């Protein structure tokens, strides 16, 4: 991991053997962090997931947060940014010949199980201040999972049957992220929409929204919203919990 700390890509790469949560670290220290700082932890004892959930800490994974100071960012931009990040991770996995897919908004699935989750948060006191934390949790080389996760989550090693070089994966993700962020800033999510759609498994399927309402997914909007049909009416989903009915 020492190699990474010398990388030109992200000059400020903070490595922790153990931490509560890399997203928390950024939140608590944002005043002192430069834009494009990456906080990486080998283990997290209070990793956080989306919708107030916890993120189970698996060994030999990738857990990191990218801190960005953007010029303006409002809550509507957070969804596209998080979708963009998921797309970058998916792109790198695909480069490794991993047959991953994206489940809206930004879970990466492999053989129908979650292999990566992303938690994007606005960290500034004031909305529009532009401080964004993008937390990425990728399950890489753990050989097993706790029983309660077996049905829903997996690791690259479990599915592909080999170990992956985490250092390489991290560098590839960060490099791709950094390169493409320029396009994201210039053109927004729409620049990535076709690629996103081609890997998005929700399209053409029925989903359950927030555990109750059924809807049929027909498209991804210019800003990454999920466009569905429900009771004959078109609805747009910006955020929340979406379950796929297989």
Residues that bind ligand BTN (CB under 6 A): 21-23, 44, 47-50, 53, 55, 63-65, 107, 117-119, 135-137
**3 state DSSP class of 126:** coil
CB of 102 to ligand BTN, least distance (A): 12
Nearer to ligand BTN, 44 or 91 (CB): 44
Largest CA distance in the chain: 56
Nearer to ligand BTN, 44 or 172 (CB): 44
Contact (Cβ atoms closer than 8 angstroms) between residue 229 and residue 195:
no
CB of 55 to ligand BTN, least distance (A): 4
Nearer to ligand BTN, 49 or 128 (CB): 49
Q: Which two tokens stand for residue 198?
A: 């081609």
Report the residue closest to ligand BTN, judged by CB.
Answer: 117
CB of 232 to ligand BTN, least distance (A): 32
Considering Cα of 8, then 13, then 34, then 56, what sign does the dihedral take? positive
Q: How far apart are CA 58 and CA 61, in angstroms?
A: 6
Nearer to ligand BTN, 201 or 229 (CB): 201
Nearer to ligand BTN, 29 or 190 (CB): 29
Angle between helices 75-95 and 166-187 in degrees, nearest 10: 140
Q: How far apart are CA 118 and CA 231, in angstroms?
A: 31
Place of tokens 């190699």: 3
**3 state DSSP class of 1:** coil
């Amino acid at each position: 991991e020492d190699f990474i700390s010398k990388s030109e890509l992200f000059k400020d790469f903070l490595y922790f053997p153990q931490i509560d949560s890399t997203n928390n670290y950024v939140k608590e220290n944002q005043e002192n962090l430069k834009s494009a700082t990456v906080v990486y932890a080998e283990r997290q004892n209070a990793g956080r997931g989306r919708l107030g959930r916890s993120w189970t800490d698996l060994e030999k994974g990738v857990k990191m947060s990218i801190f960005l100071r953007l010029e303006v960012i409002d809550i509507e931009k957070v969804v596209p940014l998080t979708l963009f990040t998921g797309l970058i991770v998916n792109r790198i996995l695909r480069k490794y010949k991993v047959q991953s897919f994206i489940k809206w908004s930004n879970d990466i699935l492999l053989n129908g199980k979650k292999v990566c989750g992303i938690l994007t948060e606005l960290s500034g006191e004031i909305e529009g201040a532009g401080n964004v934390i993008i937390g990425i949790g990728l399950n890489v080389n753990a050989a097993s999972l706790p029983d309660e996760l077996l049905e829903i989550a997996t690791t690259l090693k479990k599915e592909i049957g080999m170990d992956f070089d985490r250092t390489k994966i991290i560098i590839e993700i960060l490099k791709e992220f950094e390169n493409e962020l320029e396009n994201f800033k210039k053109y927004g999510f729409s620049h990535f929409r076709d690629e996103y759609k081609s890997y998005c498994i929700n399209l053409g399927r029925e989903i359950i929204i927030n555990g109750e309402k059924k809807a049929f997914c027909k498209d991804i909007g210019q800003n990454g919203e999920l466009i569905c049909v429900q009771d004959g009416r078109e609805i747009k989903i910006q955020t929340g919990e979406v379950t796929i009915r297989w």
